[in-house]
Chain A
Amino acid sequence: MRRDIYTALYAAVLGTVCALLLTAASVQLKPYQQANRKAERVRNILGVLDVPFDKKAPWAELEGVYRRNVRIDGNGANELYNRIDPEGEVLSVGVPLSGRGRNGPIQGFLALAPDMRTIRGITFYEHEETPGLGGEIENEQFRKKFIGKRIAGEGRIGIRITRPGGAAGDGQVDGITGATMTCRRVERMLNDRIGVIVAEAGHGG
């Protein structure tokens, strides 16, 4: 009996000490990690909008590029990250994506041409999908397949992510082998957003 109590006490103390240590570390390191995440997000926005920038640039420089080239505008239900030239002309439009993946939340950006119909790029900057399978959504090979697709066409609104090798026609994109669930979730996330964009622009179909 006394041994049992000792064992339980030992486990409780060890667990508490470990938890306290990790909590302290987490609290101390959080500001640095958040700064990294913010920079990562900005790099993704610049990347998807095709703004040239130095990937290894420090935050101050990155922020400067971001401020000069990206203007955040509202458009009804959409928050638009517009890439602008020095005269304020919109060159391309970034729309935030967010939704549920297979393993956790996915955050990304969709870049459209100023006509709001043609996809210029897509990126996912935060996800927890399985590396090598669902994680391949961040792979350029997959993301490039969306470029040039139109978000709505005859009788359809949205993009279909087909089984690998099954894509045919303008509104379809090849999925990733071994990542059917992730692709389905990405498709839903993308099309939810496309639905809102189309409704706002009023040019559906």
Chain B
Amino acid sequence: MADRPPACGPCLGACDGKGLATFQGGLLANNPISVQILGVCSALAVTNKLSNALVMGAALIFVCVGTNLLVSLLRKVTPRRIRMIAEVAIIATFVILVDQLLQAFYWDMSKRLGAYVGLIITNCIVMGRAEAFAMRNRPLVSVLDGVANGLGYAAVLGLIGFVRELGGNGTILGYPVLAAGPDGWYVKNLLLVGAPGAFLALGFLIAIANAIKPPAEEEMRP
């Protein structure tokens, strides 16, 4: 945080001049999965289909934004000693809400995601942003941080889901792209559908992300 973040015009300073840096941080420079390696469990588990990955990403954006907003609004009245318990209570509320909504309006998806929606409660990204950012920043910029980190998570899940569904099934969002099946030329890569495929896809993704922009800490090491 040495250099001053660029001030951005549109919000008239409501974001304390760190809107752009916050957004870029969550989405790219400090991406929760590819840089911080958080939330990997769900990134591996629900990405064998693109649609699962996208819904999971949307759920996390919702939880992250809601939690950051509430934690930020309450940051001055929350007793320090129980702040983490308060954060967990808020996170749990949003997660159960998402779970209930999915069960009501998106039954199939709810069955496919199974326990992983509920497990957002234990996703380090949400807790991490609440504790590291929303606790010390104003509501608006906290919401922005939630959006950026949620999008960063969703983007990585979407990429892995895209690769795994295309390679493993020859489809994108259920629509056939590569002709698989008895008459097609494409042989489905079952490795990508299984758990090892998730590890491989994520590993390559992190490697590519690191190759494009080396992490700052390692540059400083002698």
Chain A positions within 8 Å of B, measured between CB atoms, are 3, 6-7, 10-11, 14-15, 18, 21-22, 25-26, 29, 32-33, 36, 39-40, 131, 135
Chain B positions within 8 Å of A, measured between CB atoms, are 74, 77-79, 81-82, 85-86, 89-90, 92-93, 96-97, 100-101, 103-105, 107, 114-115
| A151, B99: Cα distance in complex, Å | 39
Minimum Cβ distance to chain B for residue A114 (Å):
32
- B-side binding surface: helix, strand, loop or mixed? helix
In the complex, the answer to whether B92 meets A18 with C-beta atoms within 8 Å is yes
Q: Given the known A-B contacts A18-B92, A32-B104, A32-B105, are A10 and B97 also in contact in the complex, defined by CB atoms under 8 Å? A: no
Residues in chain B near residue A21, CB distance under 8 A:
93, 97
In the complex, the answer to whether B86 meets A36 with C-beta atoms within 8 Å is no
Q: Given the known A-B contacts A15-B89, A18-B89, A22-B93, are A10 and B78 also in contact in the complex, defined by CB atoms under 8 Å? A: yes
Minimum Cβ distance to chain B for residue A135 (Å):
8
In the complex, the answer to whether A33 meets B100 with C-beta atoms within 8 Å is yes
Which one of B89, B92, B103 lies within 8 Å of A36 (CB-CB)? B103
| A21, B19: Cα distance in complex, Å | 31
Minimum Cβ distance to chain B for residue A56 (Å):
9
The chain A residue sitting closest to B114, CB to CB, is A131
Which one of A3, A10, A25, A135 lies within 8 Å of B100 (CB-CB)? A25
Q: What are 13 sample pairs from A and B whose C-beta atoms fall under 8 A apart?
A: A7-B81, A10-B79, A10-B82, A15-B89, A22-B93, A22-B96, A22-B97, A25-B97, A25-B101, A29-B100, A32-B104, A32-B105, A36-B107
In the complex, the answer to whether A3 meets B104 with C-beta atoms within 8 Å is no
Residues in chain A near residue B105, CB distance under 8 A:
32
Minimum Cβ distance to chain A for residue B98 (Å):
10
In the complex, the answer to whether B100 meets A26 with C-beta atoms within 8 Å is yes
Residues in chain A near residue B81, CB distance under 8 A:
7
Q: Which 8 A-B pairs have the closest CB atoms?
A: A32-B104, A36-B107, A29-B104, A18-B93, A7-B79, A33-B103, A33-B104, A29-B100
